[in-house]
Structure 1
Amino acid sequence: MRTSHLKKSKNKSIRIQILNLQDEHCMGCQKMPAYRKSENRKTSWCADNCRIGKQIKQLGETLLEGRNETMAEQMAEERNWDVLCEKAEKLREQKLSWA
């Protein structure tokens, strides 16, 4: 439980860092080229060509670390037939159905 709280706190700190970098360096940036007539700007350019963009990308990747493994574990648990059978048995005992 404590580890989860520390991770949430760390992730919150990282998000704040990202927002601060964007506020300080990205708002109104003229280095990033505009694309086509729409004047849209692509953030992928920043991640490849800008020191701040690279830093933001790295911080974002830090937020994603371990996420896929955790999600895979949760999905595996949900698919675990023993667990499903236990749940079904409890529902049956309560005269409830699965559907």
Structure 2
Amino acid sequence: MDDLETEVKALIVDSLKLEDLRPEDIDSEEPLFVDGLGLDSIDALELGVALRKKFGLRIESVSEDIKAHFATVRSLARFIRSQQTADAAAQQA
């Protein structure tokens, strides 16, 4: 398992206070909302705040692209990496 995916799983469990779940219980490809993990819109807001704090993510508005990024742990990890890469490139420019 990818280290960033492990961090995202731990952040989900901690920030949403999912006491009956361990990070290793979450499948990286499992849907986070409705089916799968069963998170809801309030969880999405709380998770968004936690991701902004931990990874400095910029989430301008809720769009279909953002919803796609929040679909699974793996898609969230890709989104985080893409923003970190963009930030690093901007700093070098």
Return the TM-score normalized by structure 2: 0.28
Of structures 1 and 2, the one scoring higher in RCO (CA 8 A, sep 6+) is 2
Q: Highest Rg: 1 or 2?
A: 1
The structure where helix makes up a greater share of residues is 1
> Which has more strand, going by share of residues?
1
